[in-house]
Structure 1
Amino acid sequence: MAGIHPSAVIEPGAQIDASATVGPFCVVGADAVIGPDVTLKSHVVVTGQTTIGQGTTVFPFAVIGEVPQDLKFKGEQSRLEIGARNRIREHVTMNCGTEGGGGVTRIGDDGLFMAGCHIAHDALIGDRVIVVNSAAIAGHCVLEDDVIIGGLSGVHQFVRVGRGAIIGAVTMVTNDVIPYGLVQAPRGELDGLNLVGLKRRGVARSDITALRAAFQMLAQGEGTFHSRAERLGAETDSEYVREIVDFVMGESDRHFLTPR
């Protein structure tokens, strides 16, 4: 109890690790589980069946685990699972899942969620994801590992964003984004590859060259986008290109953003 400020409201049943810190005027609900070394700065609300993983820091006025903003939600049991070492900045909102979406919203490890961004119900967020100020991730979205979402951007419900992709600021994304894609313009257009991100992660030059050739084939080859990807899969020996092919051939509820 030494780490809990006297002004905090802790509902009976809440589980708070002895190493966690709960700052002034925080509210922790009865079904919340606060893990080791978690810090709730001040004025943080953690409610619902929410689990916050080790070393995560939540900044003032964030609201974590509230009911989904979905008119189909009828009060069913659902969860929000937040991984380790995330930084959740001021005024961020993250909602629990819904029965129709699997019942869980899941956040991976080592993410940065900047001030005012929103993670909606049933979203599945990978590791090392960055969501910049005032961006909104709609219900049922999937953001794979190492994705960056630019400020003031919106991702449409059911959209998948592949690993290592980057979305520019003030962009509306309405269709799936291939791994390592670069999306920009107000009505999101697939404008290339996230070459800066690939280089920062130390991806070999040969793999980057293979990715660039694959992108050109997807952009200018014959046939539909899907058939180009299928043909690419039969020709490539690059694991990075194979990842794009598998993503395109996988199950999707939206169409794909295709190269300009």
Structure 2
Amino acid sequence: MTDDRTALVTGASRGIGQAIAIRLAARGAAVAVHYGTDKEGAAATVGEIERAGGTAFSVQAELGAEGDVETLFAGLEEGLAGRPLDILVNNAAAAPAGPLGVTTQADFDRLFAVNVRAPYFIIERALPLLRDGGRVITISSVATRMANPTQTSFAMTKGAVETMTRTLANQLGARGITVNAVSPGATRTATNGAAFAAPGLADFIAGATALGRLGTADDVAEVVTFLASAEARWITGQVIDATGGLFLGPRV
């Protein structure tokens, strides 16, 4: 990755998005660190990148709200200062809202606004800025290949972005732009540790994972960074499973 590359990572104030932003910066990209409400977290991401000798700036936009994409790109274009965009990572997402019978229509609409509508129109808005040979990477979820009744509506949103990935890869290939998705599984980060605190849960998930442990944000960030690299130029229209082999089948 060359020093003149630029990247936008949505939802980069914490968790997987933060790890992706830091990893891309370590590989030489100037990174736009998007956040919705966590200004301090975005500042921490930018600060860590800059302390390591990298370049970053933060941009704010509440995805799913009216005018979200234009707000995002106003900040992005100011920070880019005339430079093109090379890498777009759609990481920001709304969390699962609950099972059928619990998810409200408002919850459902918000999930699709943040997880589907926002990345779709962010990609559309990015195309004039995106350099030929660029990279578009969207974070999906293992929920698309698992039947989890508590995440039905969430899984539907991630199924939509996987379909989007394949169709846009076909459309944008003429410009040498690759479009891929990365599908994390059970990934423990600094901010979601409580989700795995139930007695025996972490051990159960590790026992159902081929590689025998929970994932980390860095595990996923490494996959994204590879897809953003020149070495991944011949990979497009794919959903890359980054779960460590979660629920592949019985382990004997």
Same fold (TM over 0.5): no
**TM tier, shorter chain?**
under 0.3
Pick the structure with more strand per residue.
1
Larger radius of gyration: 1
Give the structure-2-normalised TM-score. 0.23
Higher relative contact order (CA 8 A, sep 6+): 2
Q: Which has the higher helix share?
A: 2
